[in-house]
């Protein structure tokens, strides 16, 4: 009897528990990229890019004649039912656990349907909240089909590398489903903006581009630049790469710690100075909700590493010049930031800078904060932005070689 009572829980545990979840690894079809397009009748066309484990992963068991991934599109009411329906085509059980990138067409993103698709998809246990959201200018299925990176055979690796780059350079925000869910009550959510189409234009500032506008020859078909702006779960506009960078600077904390950008040379108007901006401490945001209009004071401490001075002006030894350069950078950044703030106030009527966190702090209860209507107050707020750059270094070689004419 004692033995039996000892064994019974174990037997029940084995019979009744998660055994049904078990699946052998090779039975699963790992969807690594998911594309969602608008279809008729409130349906969505879901594109699955399924990784082929036998291509590019190991030399032990490679299949030479198979493509690295299989792409198929299914139209269904939602993602989960599309997944089920796709099973009529796919030989393996589709699995989202390694899904890390979701491409959504701008067409769908600009409708109310977007939120319904995203919000309901997380009901699926396999959907991760750290899935990156990319808004494509064209249809998501076209984007996925066109994306054939030259250096990466396996699609998941391409996106994994790209996500690391985005974090470094800050041309695009680090947008995940989780962050999207955090910003649904009026705050702006920035999603990654990308395209495989091209509409090149030339800008003097190297980062004032949107995806597709970067002058490019050769290379991969996908351009990722700028961000798609969402408010109340619907896309309402775009920010260029530079605006995205500024927006990230104005946030209290940002994932990207340094960016390289060029600023007008204060001594020679035709030249620009390329610098690396480092964030050393969080951006300081002070909001006075008691004043009308609301006062917002933002101070952004920055460290500047001067990398290139094409004008060859001696900023290194001349402290006066240095002061001028610092002021030039500061003014350039501030004017851009002010323009961005103005744009968000007028065009989007909300802010993507996470300043709501500071406004919310000023209230005792959530109810008070909601009644205050921060987004509305923000559109009229007096925003004072101060960048505080301090020059840290002048690159590896202080003094560029000079040409000595006789």
Binding region for other proteins (CB under 8 A) = 13-14, 17-19, 21-26, 28, 30, 32, 51, 53-54, 57-58, 60-62, 95, 97-98, 100, 126, 128, 154, 156-157, 160
SS3 378: helix
Q: Which of residues 153 and 345 has its CB atom nearest to other proteins in the complex?
A: 153
Residue 155 C-beta: closest distance to other proteins, Å: 10
Q: Which of residues 176 and 283 has its CB atom nearest to other proteins in the complex?
A: 176
Burial of 184 per CB tally in 10 Å (0-12, 13-18, 19+) = middle
Do 284 and 298 form a contact (C-beta atoms < 8 A)?
A: yes
Residue 97 C-beta: closest distance to other proteins, Å: 4
Burial of 283 per CB tally in 10 Å (0-12, 13-18, 19+) = buried
Residue 18 C-beta: closest distance to other proteins, Å: 5
Helix axes 79-86, 113-121, angle to 10 degrees: 70
Q: Which of residues 28 and 146 has its CB atom nearest to other proteins in the complex?
A: 28
Q: Which of 139, 144, 128, 126 is nearest to 68 (CA)?
A: 144
SS3 3: helix
Residue 99 C-beta: closest distance to other proteins, Å: 10
Q: Which of 93, 99, 88 is nearest to 35 (CA)?
A: 99
Distance CA 249, CA 173 (A): 11
Q: Which of residues 160 and 236 has its CB atom nearest to other proteins in the complex?
A: 160
Residue 161 C-beta: closest distance to other proteins, Å: 12
SS3 38: strand
Residue 313 C-beta: closest distance to other proteins, Å: 48
Q: Which of residues 11 and 317 has its CB atom nearest to other proteins in the complex?
A: 11
Q: Which of residues 26 and 323 has its CB atom nearest to other proteins in the complex?
A: 26
Residue 2 C-beta: closest distance to other proteins, Å: 13
Q: E-strand spans in 124-254? A: 132-136, 188-195, 223-231, 234-239
Residue 169 C-beta: closest distance to other proteins, Å: 23
Q: Which of residues 58 and 406 has its CB atom nearest to other proteins in the complex?
A: 58
Q: Which of residues 98 and 382 has its CB atom nearest to other proteins in the complex?
A: 98
Residue 53 C-beta: closest distance to other proteins, Å: 4
Helix axes 319-343, 241-250, angle to 10 degrees: 100
108 CB-near residues (< 8 Å, 6+ apart): 36, 37, 38, 44, 114, 117, 140
Q: Which of residues 53 and 264 has its CB atom nearest to other proteins in the complex?
A: 53
Reported as type and span, the H/E element at residue 301 is: strand 295-308
C-alpha distances in Å from residue 19, one per residue of 16, 29, 93, 95, 201: 8, 20, 17, 17, 57
Place of tokens 């108007």: 269
Helices (H) and strands (E) in the chain, counts: 12, 14
Distance CA 237, CA 239 (A): 7
């Amino acid at each position: 009897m004692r033995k039996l009572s000892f064994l019974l829980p174990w037997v029940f545990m084995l019979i009744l528990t998660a055994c049904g979840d078990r699946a052998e690894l090779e039975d699963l079809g790992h969807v690594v990229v998911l594309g969602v397009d608008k279809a008729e009748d409130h349906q969505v066309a879901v594109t699955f890019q399924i990784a082929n484990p036998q291509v590019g992963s190991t030399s032990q068991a490679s299949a030479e004649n198979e493509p690295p991934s299989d792409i198929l599109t299914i139209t269904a009411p939602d993602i989960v039912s599309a997944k089920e329906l796709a099973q009529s085509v796919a030989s393996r059980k589709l699995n989202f656990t390694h899904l890390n990138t979701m491409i959504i067409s701008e067409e769908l993103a600009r409708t109310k349907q977007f939120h319904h698709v995203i919000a309901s998809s997380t009901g699926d246990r396999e959907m991760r909240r750290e899935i990156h959201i990319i808004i494509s200018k064209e249809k998501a299925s076209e984007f996925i089909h066109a994306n054939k990176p030259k250096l990466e055979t396996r699609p998941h690796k391409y996106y994994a590398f790209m996500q690391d780059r985005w974090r470094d350079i800050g041309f695009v925000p680090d947008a995940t489903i989780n962050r999207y869910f955090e910003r649904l009550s009026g705050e702006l959510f920035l999603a990654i903006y990308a395209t495989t189409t091209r509409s090149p234009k030339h800008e003097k500032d190297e980062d004032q581009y949107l995806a597709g506008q970067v002058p490019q020859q050769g290379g991969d078909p996908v351009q990722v630049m700028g961000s798609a702006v969402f408010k109340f779960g619907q896309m309402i506009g775009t920010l260029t790469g530079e605006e995205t960078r500024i927006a990230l600077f104005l946030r209290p904390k940002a994932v990207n710690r340094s960016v390289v950008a060029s600023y007008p040379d204060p001594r020679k108007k035709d030249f620009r100075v390329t610098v690396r901006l480092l964030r050393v401490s969080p951006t300081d945001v002070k909001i006075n909700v008691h004043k009308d209009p609301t006062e917002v004071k933002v101070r952004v401490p920055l460290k500047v590493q001067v990398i290139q001075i094409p004008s060859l002006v001696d900023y290194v030894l001349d402290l006066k010049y240095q002061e001028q350069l610092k002021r030039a950078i500061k003014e350039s950044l501030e004017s851009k930031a002010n323009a961005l703030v103005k744009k968000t106030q007028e065009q989007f009527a909300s802010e993507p800078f996470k300043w709501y966190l500071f406004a919310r702090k000023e209230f005792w209860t959530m109810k008070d904060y909601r009644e205050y209507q921060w987004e509305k107050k923000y559109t009229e707020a007096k925003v004072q932005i101060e960048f505080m750059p301090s020059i840290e270094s002048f690159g590896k070689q202080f003094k560029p070689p000079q040409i000595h004419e006789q």
